Structure 1
């Protein structure tokens, strides 16, 4: 998952002897391929590189904790593929049938299990990862509810969270890291339903060092801030949900992705409809979020996915509707400055910075 890439890059940052290169991958779901861009490590600007074809419409990606294996969900063919990351390239390892269209995938923090959420099927699953990084047998499938949209493991590798837009709930599980099996958290689920409005939790991102989680609320065009209890593995709302839109905007909108900077100072949520990134400053003590001085930054049409470079200097956001991507400079105040716009391809669905170890 994306958070592991940040940890891996952070370890690599203290020495150049490990020789790493960062590239940007984009799942081009309308063309059944993964696009590749080389990242200029001085400016953050992108140059088209050589991507690779896949056996289906690619969607979410995940990176192993050691940064050496890439996993790609192939949504149209109900498969997940694995690739070895070596010498700046991606070598196919294997593919498995997962029996559904994986909306989100993530490894646990040992790198021994792949967790996946299935939107249409309303379930989550766990698959074994072999020592060579290939995908193995299914460990478990759990029926949850319709519209399972994301699956995230906490820093301790003990708890798992699955936001569901349909029932307005965040499902909470306990993870046995030895067997990979999930069990319902005794604390139950987080209910975000409201008789007066729809909110619909979609994606979740943990603060890198504090016990807080940040959630994009799809239907409500909001970001939710939750306090995390690291002993019980439960979430509870910290404050009212925060709007991601200007007060004078009256058009249709839904949020998609959410992500924090590696230092935890800023959070961003993508708006589809308003076509923007909403930016927030995170209070280092309370965890509360406050809109930036410039609350939103324009994006390409329908920004389904974006990703922040592990060095915290650049953000890349793709427009699913336009087939284009914008590279932004991320300022010390959290403001985003567009640097360049590039063609990506038809219906980009996932953006992933990958730090590739070079042996």
Structure 2
């Protein structure tokens, strides 16, 4: 990677999650301190960011995680401070965010992160306060979230982020305090998450995030305190993570997030 012409843009104090729409035209940054999402256009040639005409929208209290659905029509923000999810429509031309007709839904205590499955039918919210994963159905027309009736499964200690695999079969939660990853199978029809046959996998110290390659065969975990990335193969039937023969690589100091090229 090399720095582009405009190597940085201001996103306010304590920038948390970020997301790019599926077309690569729009980028959204969560500003935790200001309870807002900042919106940018992405230059198709240079990758440079520039503020949209409608440059930001309000969120709930202390927003953190953000996800854009695979159609690029809807965006969702998990609000840690008030245990809610803010829901937005994305303008197809401008990329501007506007609150949905039902602008917020209730999540659990300390709603920290959110992921949308690749079919765009379900969303999963990680609640750090009560250590659960809540599941929602997504209305295909309005984008409105409706909680699923199933009991939310538990996570490990200090859950920090949630990831759904590219095929929509499994979900993974990185648990900072228990030094492991929680694994779940996702029901293809109902979207309900249940603990995998091996529900937790040991990692390095304080894992912060999980990334999965496009084939769904490999998982990478950023171990925050170790300064390493742990590498796993994914069992196609169970979703269980198995350490590779060379299980780790060295990263920089305190890696927090990891992303893969497509």
Q: Which runs of 5+ in 2 are unaligned?
A: none
Give how far 1:138 is off.
Answer: 4.0
Matched, 1:354 2:258: no
Matched with 2:42 is 129
Matched with 1:184 is 99
Select the structure that is richer in helix.
1
Task: Using structure 1 for the length normalisation, give the TM-score.
Answer: 0.67
Aligned-partner Cα distance in 2 for 1:122–1:204: 16
Aligned-partner Cα distance in 2 for 1:259–1:144: 22
Matched with 2:193 is 289
Which segment drifts farther, 327-336 or 128-137? 128-137
Aligned-partner Cα distance in 1 for 2:26–2:190: 33
Matched with 2:152 is 241
Aligned-partner Cα distance in 2 for 1:210–1:160: 11
The match for 1:215 among 125, 146, 154 is: 125
Q: What value does the CA root-mean-square deviation take over the aligned residues?
A: 1.7
Q: Deviations over 1:7-28 (max 9, x none)?
A: xxxxxxxxxxxxxxxxxxxxxx
Task: Using structure 2 for the length normalisation, give the TM-score.
Answer: 0.91
SS of 1:354's partner is: coil
> Structure 1 167/177 Cα, relative in aligned 2: closer, same or farther at 3 Å?
same
Q: Deviations over 1:38-78 (max 9, x none)?
A: xxxxxxxxxxxxxxxxxxxxxxxxxxxxxxxxxxxxxxxxx
Aligned-partner Cα distance in 1 for 2:78–2:231: 28
The match for 1:148 among 63, 73, 79 is: 63
Matched, 1:303 2:218: no
Give how far 1:142 is off.
Answer: 2.1
Aligned-partner Cα distance in 2 for 1:216–1:190: 14
Aligned-partner Cα distance in 1 for 2:191–2:37: 29
Matched with 1:268 is 172
Q: Deviations over 1:311-330 (max 9, x none)?
A: 11111111112222211111
Matched with 1:100 is 13
Aligned-partner Cα distance in 2 for 1:145–1:216: 16
Q: Deviations over 1:72-115 (max 9, x none)?
A: xxxxxxxxxxxxxxxxxx23212222333321222223322211
Give how far 1:167 is off.
Answer: 0.8
Contact 1:120 1:146 in 2 (8 A): no
Matched with 2:137 is 227
Aligned-partner Cα distance in 1 for 2:120–2:260: 23
SS of 2:63's partner is: coil
Give how far 1:346 is off.
Answer: 1.5
| Aligned pairs, number | 254
Q: Which runs of 5+ in 1 are unaligned?
A: 1-89, 194-198, 246-252
SS of 1:96's partner is: coil
Flag the structure with larger Rg.
Answer: 1
Which segment drifts farther, 113-122 or 294-303? 113-122
Higher relative contact order (CA 8 A, sep 6+): 1
